[in-house]
C-alpha cells in the first residue's frame, strides 16, 4: 500500500514514467508460481505493484543485486544515517516537524550531491483525461459471492445490498483504507457485518424406551389359543393352527 500510494503521488506531480528500476522485493516482484492462465499467456506471476504499473503502461525493470542500483542504495544509507543525525541536532520529535525540515534539507542535499544525467530528455507522459488512478493503484482480489450475498475479505464479512447475479466479485482495497466491491465493473453497495450471527443450537430430541403396543379387545390375538388341533374362531378361513 505505501508503494502504490507513493507512486500515485509521484505520477500526479511528474507524470507517468516510461520505466521504473526496482529490486526484487516481494512488493515489486511476486515470488509465487504462474497459474495455468498466466502460462498460456506467456507471462509470469505479477505482484499488485507490477499489475498496476502494467495497466499504466510502465515497464518494470528488476535489478539482480543491490549493487546494480548503487546510487539509490547510497541514498538510502544517507537517509538512515546523516538525515537522522541532522534531525536529532534540530530537536525534531514529530512527523510534521520532520516533513517541514525535509523541504529545507532536500535543496541543500541536491546542490551538494546531485549528478546531472547524461541525457536531459523528459520521458514522462501526461495523465490521460478521465483516468481513474484509484481503480488502478489498489489491491485487486477476486472473491466468491456466497449464497447469502456476503463476501469475506481480510478477516471481515461484507453484506451486498444491491441485487446481483454473479458467482464472483472483485474487491479493490485502496491505499486510503477504503474498500470497493465490483461486479462486472459495477460498484456494489455493501455494509460491513460487525457481529456474526450466532448459530441456533437445536434441542436434542428426548428418546425413551418404546411404549408397548396393546391390541384392542376384538383383536384376533386375544382369541388365539396355543395347542395342537385347536382352531381360532376369529379366523374366517378356518385354517388349522
| pLDDT at residue 204 in the model | 78
Judge whether 99 lies within some domain. yes
Query: Could you tell me the three cell numbers for 174?
Result: 485502496
236 domain residue, yes or no: no
Are residue 12 and residue 89 in the same domain, yes or no? yes
Mark whether 19 and 109 lie in a shared domain.
yes
CA dihedral 184, 185, 189, 193 (to 10 degrees): 70
Contact 182, 172 (CB under 8 A): yes
Whether 86 maps to a domain, the answer reads: yes
Q: Is residue 227 part of a domain?
A: no
β-pairing, 59-62 vs 19-22, is parallel
Any domain includes 72? yes
The CATH number assigned to the domain holding 30 equals: 3.30.420
Q: What is the pLDDT along the chain (241 residues), one digit of tens a residue?
A: 999 999 999 999 999 999 999 888 888 888 888 777 777 777 778 899 999 999 999 999 998 887 788 888 888 888 889 899 999 999 999 999 999 999 999 898 888 888 888 888 888 999 888 888 888 999 999 999 998 889 999 889 999 998 888 889 999 999 988 999 999 888 999 999 888 777 777 777 777 787 888 878 877 777 766 654 454 555 554 444 4
> Hey, what's the torsion of the CAs at 30, 35, 37, 42, to 10 degrees?
60
Does 124 map to a domain? no
198 in any annotated domain: no
| pLDDT of res. 139 | 92
**8 and 91: one domain?**
yes
How many domains does the structure of the chain reveal? 2
Q: Please state, in angstroms and as integers, the Cα–Cα distance from residue 183 to each residue in 52, 101, 130, 169, 172, following that order.
A: 19, 46, 21, 5, 11
- Going by C-alpha positions, the residue among 201, 229, 238, 172 that lies closest to residue 4 is 172
- Bridge partners (DSSP) of residue 43 are none
Cα(6)–Cα(11) distance, rounded to whole angstroms?
9
Query: What pLDDT score does 224 carry?
Result: 67
Q: Which pLDDT belongs to residue 239?
A: 47
Residues 156 and 100 grouped into a single domain: no
Find the Cα–Cα–Cα–Cα dihedral 214, 217, 221, 226, rounded to 10°: 120
Domain that holds residue 142: 138-193
Q: Indicate whether 40 and 101 sit together in one domain.
A: yes
Q: Looking at the structure, tell me whether residues 81 and 152 fall in a common domain.
A: no
Q: What is the pLDDT of residue 65?
A: 83
Report how far residue 29's alpha carbon sits from residue 46's, in angstroms, rounded to the nearest whole number: 7
Residues 148 and 99 in one domain: no
Q: What is the DSSP letter of 66?
A: G
Domain identity same for 97 and 14: yes
Q: Which of 168, 193, 218 is the endpoint of a domain?
A: 193
Cα(158)–Cα(128) distance, integer angstroms: 34
Q: Choose the final residue of a domain: 55, 78, 113.
A: 113
d(CA 25, CA 42): 22
Phi, psi of 90 (to 5 degrees): -80, -5
Residues 189 and 94 in one domain: no
- Site of grid cell 500510494: 5
Residues 143, 50 within the same domain: no
Whether the full predicted model's pTM is greater than 0.75, yes or no, is no
Note whether 144 and 185 are same-domain residues: yes
**151 in the same domain as 64:** no
127, 129, 131, 132 alpha-carbon torsion, rounded to 10°: 110
Handedness of CA 14, 18, 23, 25 (dihedral sign): positive
Residue 52 grid cell:
498496476
pLDDT at 227: 55
- 231: in domain: no
Amino acid at each position: 500500500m505505501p508503494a502504490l500510494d507513493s507512486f500515485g503521488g509521484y505520477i500526479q506531480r511528474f507524470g507517468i514514467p516510461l520505466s521504473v528500476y526496482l529490486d526484487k522485493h516481494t512488493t515489486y516482484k511476486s515470488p509465487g508460481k504462474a497459474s495455468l492462465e498466466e502460462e498460456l499467456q506467456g507471462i509470469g506471476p505479477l505482484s499488485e505493484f507490477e499489475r498496476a504499473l502494467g495497466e499504466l503502461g510502465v515497464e518494470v525493470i528488476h535489478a539482480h543485486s543491490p549493487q546494480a542500483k548503487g546510487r539509490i542504495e547510497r541514498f538510502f544509507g544517507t537517509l538512515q544515517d546523516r538525515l537522522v543525525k541532522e534531525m536529532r541536532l534540530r530537536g525534531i520529535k514529530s512527523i510534521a516537524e520532520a516533513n517541514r525540515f525535509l523541504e529545507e534539507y532536500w535543496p541543500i542535499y541536491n546542490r551538494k550531491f546531485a549528478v546531472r544525467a547524461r541525457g536531459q530528455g523528459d520521458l514522462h507522459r501526461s495523465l490521460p483525461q478521465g483516468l481513474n488512478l484509484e481503480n488502478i493503484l489498489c489491491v485487486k482480489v477476486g472473491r466468491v459471492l456466497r449464497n447469502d450475498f456476503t463476501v469475506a475479505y481480510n478477516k471481515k464479512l461484507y453484506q451486498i445490498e444491491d441485487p446481483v447475479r454473479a458467482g464472483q466479485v472483485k474487491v479493490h482495497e485502496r491505499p486510503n483504507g477504503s474498500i470497493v466491491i465490483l461486479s462486472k465493473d459495477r460498484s456494489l453497495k455493501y455494509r460491513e457485518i460487525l457481529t456474526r450471527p450466532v448459530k441456533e443450537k437445536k434441542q436434542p430430541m428426548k428418546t425413551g424406551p418404546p411404549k408397548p403396543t396393546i391390541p384392542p379387545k376384538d383383536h384376533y390375538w386375544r382369541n388365539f389359543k396355543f395347542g395342537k388341533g385347536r382352531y381360532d374362531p376369529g379366523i374366517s378361513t378356518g385354517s388349522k393352527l
